[in-house]
């Protein structure tokens, strides 16, 4: 584990040098992926790393976990409450959709959730520009394979240090790095709506996704769900389709 951590930390330092920036930042949610990334960037850039807490109707418990994550690695933090910004922006967009009779109630929850993720991305880039830092992403191998992230939201980042680590391996890293137990043992959640849990929404488990990625056999039902997610989200991993005048 020490060797893996050293390798990621060296890689992060290399990325800072290559990009010619001053440091690194990450959004800290109180979940395990951002906890691991916060620890790693603090190790890579002890004096030039930052954690950004961005509540949007976020529970006191998750805020407390985010603060404990920051305390556990000693990273500096700022908090930008986006609750009003999201309410105002979503309210304005919805008003327009409703007045033009193009509002679709069945897509509302997801649209609102993805707006939250994209407001967080915009906030991170505003802070990153101010500090001349890179925005560090928290996607792990399971999320990347299934495309379980918002395009240009939490997926809109500069570098991905833990994208080759399964959710199980992220947990091992978290344990090694000293992430608090409350975060280590918590159910993964995008926390984009009341009661959301990743596994409930996906209809499968991280254990099955991890197993499939590692080439192990898993129940047919889970395989179908995971492969369908993978296929549907190909566009999130591929380069942008670009019209070429030479075609």
Ligand X SMILES: Nc1ncnc2c1ncn2[C@@H]1O[C@H](COP(=O)(O)OP(=O)(O)OC[C@H]2O[C@@H]([n+]3cccc(C(=O)O)c3)[C@H](O)[C@@H]2O)[C@@H](O)[C@H]1O
Ligand Y SMILES: Nc1ncnc2c1ncn2[C@@H]1O[C@H](COP(=O)(O)OP(=O)(O)OP(=O)(O)O)[C@@H](O)[C@H]1O
Tell the burial category of 210 from Cβ atoms under 10 Å away from its Cβ (0-12, 13-18, 19+). buried
Closest to 49 (Cα-Cα) out of 112, 113, 136, 126: 136
Closest to 159 (Cα-Cα) out of 1, 41, 238: 41
94-123 positions binding ligand X, by CB under 6 A: 110, 113-114, 117
Residue pair 23/128 in contact (Cβ under 8 Å)? The answer is: no
Does 201 sit near ligand X (CB under 6 A)? yes
Is 203 annotated to bind ligand? Answer: no
Is 138 annotated to bind ligand? Answer: yes
> Quick one: 10 or 59, whose CB is closer to ligand Y?
59
Residue 58 binding target from ligand Y, Mg ion, ligand X, none, CB below 5 to 8 Å by type: ligand Y
Residue pair 157/25 in contact (Cβ under 8 Å)? The answer is: no
Tell the burial category of 7 from Cβ atoms under 10 Å away from its Cβ (0-12, 13-18, 19+). exposed
Residue 70 binding target from ligand X, Mg ion, ligand Y, none, CB below 5 to 8 Å by type: none
Which residues are annotated as part of the binding site for deamido-NAD(+)?
Answer: 118, 151, 158, 235-236
Please report, as ranges, the residues that interact with ligand Y according to CB under 6 A: 26-29, 31-34, 52-55, 58, 120, 138, 154, 188-191, 198
Please report, as ranges, the residues that interact with ligand X according to CB under 6 A: 110, 113-114, 117, 143, 148-151, 153-154, 190, 192, 198, 201, 235
């Amino acid at each position: 584990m020490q060797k893996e951590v050293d390798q990621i930390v060296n890689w992060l330092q290399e990325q800072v040098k290559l990009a010619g920036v001053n440091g690194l930042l990450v959004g800290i949610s109180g979940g395990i992926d951002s906890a691991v990334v916060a620890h790693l960037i603090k190790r890579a850039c002890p004096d030039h790393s930052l954690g950004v807490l961005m509540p949007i109707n976020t529970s006191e418990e998750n805020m407390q976990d985010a603060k404990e994550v920051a305390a556990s690695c000693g990273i500096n933090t700022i908090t930008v409450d986006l609750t009003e910004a999201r309410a105002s922006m979503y309210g304005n967009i919805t008003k327009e959709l409703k007045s033009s009779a193009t509002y679709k109630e069945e897509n509302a929850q997801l649209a609102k959730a993805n707006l939250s993720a994209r407001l967080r991305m915009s906030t991170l880039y505003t802070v990153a520009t101010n500090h001349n830092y890179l925005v560090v992403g928290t996607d792990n191998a399971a999320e990347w394979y299934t495309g379980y992230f918002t395009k240009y939201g939490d997926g809109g980042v500069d570098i991905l240090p833990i994208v080759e680590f399964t959710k199980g391996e992220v947990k091992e890293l978290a344990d090694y790095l000293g992430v608090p137990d409350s975060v280590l043992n918590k159910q993964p959640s995008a926390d984009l709506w009341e009661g959301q849990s990743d596994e409930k929404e996906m209809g499968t488990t991280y254990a099955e996704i991890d197993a499939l990625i590692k080439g192990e056999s898993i129940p047919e039902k889970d395989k179908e769900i995971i492969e369908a997610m993978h296929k549907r989200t190909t566009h999130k991993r591929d380069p942008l389709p670009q019209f070429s005048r030479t075609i």
